[in-house]
Amino acid sequence: MDALDCIRRRRSVREYSEQKIGREILEQIVDAGRLAPTANNIQPWEFVVVTKKGMLEKFGSITNYGGFIKGAAACILVFCKDTKYYLEDGCAATENVLLAAESFGIGACWVAGDKKSYVDEVRALAGAPEGHKLVAIISLGYPKAGAPAKTKRPLVEILHWEKFG
Ligand SMILES: Cc1cc2nc3c(=O)[nH]c(=O)nc-3n(C[C@H](O)[C@H](O)[C@H](O)COP(=O)(O)O)c2cc1C
């Protein structure tokens, strides 16, 4: 799939079919996260792929806006070491993961990690070492239904040539 098509088609998907996602595809999705840019090329990240139903249910129950994770085929936890630009780096990886999922026809949704009260609980469940920040939880699954397209601010409103007009 063309990169721009992929970017244009991607929408958060929160309802998934029962179909599992192959391990090789999950590996390729994480590999796309690995290739994201990072400040000073530090690559502070670690990715945990979770497919066990019990764990998915647990993440669904402890996140305040991520209840749908329990119906996902998998989720990817994006952790970063506590570097100066961990959040920017982790977010770049998260977006790559979302786009890679889209390219495989897999629905995904970014569930907040950083700044949330449940970060320590997720870290403990994932066995992540101290000093690792949870940037995002990404739920994944083959879409059950087409995601409703969220409206986006029009280009003409957000694009400023040379300076704010
Ligand atoms: C930092 C961040 C945190 C988010 N957290 C959640 C969340 O906790 N639960 C959720 O359902 N969606 C979450 N989202 C997804 C947004 O709701 C979604 O991207 C937005 O509504 C735009 O829709 P779209 O992704 O379909 O373009 C998050 C997105 C970002 C970037």
Confidence of residue 162 (pLDDT cuts 50, 70, 90): very high
Quick one: how far is CA 130 from the chain centroid? 21
Over range 80-89, report the average pLDDT: 98
pLDDT at 165 over 90: no
Distance (angstroms) between ligand 1 centre and the Cα of 65 equals: 9
Q: What letter does residue 1 receive in the DSSP assignment? A: -
Average pLDDT taken over every residue of the chain: 96
Angle at which helices 53-62 and 119-126 pack, to 10 degrees? Answer: 170
Confidence of residue 145 (pLDDT cuts 50, 70, 90): confident
Distance (angstroms) between ligand 1 centre and the Cα of 109 equals: 7
Over range 72-83, report the average pLDDT: 98
Share of the chain above pLDDT 90, in %: 95
Instruction: Please work out whether the CB of residue 59 comes within 6 Å of at least one atom of ligand 1.
Output: no
Atom 18 (ligand 1) nearest CA: 12
Q: How far is CA 2 from CA 27, 94, 101, in A?
A: 20, 19, 14
Over range 128-139, report the average pLDDT: 97
pLDDT at 147: 67
pLDDT at 48 over 90: yes
Site to substitute for ligand 1 among 11, 111, 116, most atoms within 8 A of C-beta: 111
CA 38 – CA 18 distance, rounded (Å): 35
Beta-strand ranges (E) seen in 29-163 are: 45-50, 74-81, 107-112, 132-141
CA 67 – CA 14 distance, rounded (Å): 9
